[in-house]
Amino acid sequence: MAEKFITRPAKFEKLIDILTEQGPFETKQAAMTFAAAVGWRFARKREPRGKGGNEIRWNVVETSNDDAFIHALALAESDAIEILGRDRAENDDNPIRVFEEYATAGLQYVQDKCVDAPGDLLDNLLKLIAEVNTSPVAPPPGLEGLTPEALDFLAG
């Protein structure tokens, strides 16, 4: 089996460097994971990653247990367990591509809202995180009738 890689978008290599050198992330892989979550939450769309930059080996992702996030993101995107299967066609969506595309969208969002915006990078990142914590989230399908308190209780 060929080794798998996550490709960082070349367009955002400088931003990823800023997020790891001046920001709160210890690794480029952690910055990419954060960006994918931001892309899912705020951009709600996937963007082609464009020309690829450097790569992150899949075993690094597995070691930090971020592979679970990547698979969960792919499942949330497709609503079909088949996205995780080995028997899907090569040109079909796969978890790594879904992750890379949401990370690209998230990196653009972070660039616009945290780096290019006035103020300190860390303060802007904290505002972004606070926005996630305070903005209402639509309940998952089938749970529309539950109150926010009930959803919080169920979430643990």
Our count of domains for the chain comes to: 1
Q: What is the mean pLDDT of the chain?
A: 82
E strands within the chain?
5-9, 52-57
Q: Domain residues for 81?
A: 5-155
CA distances for 10 relative to 91, 98, 134, 155, angstroms: 22, 17, 32, 37
pTM of the model: 0.79
pLDDT tens digits, one per residue of 82-106:
777 765 555 456 888 889 999 999 9
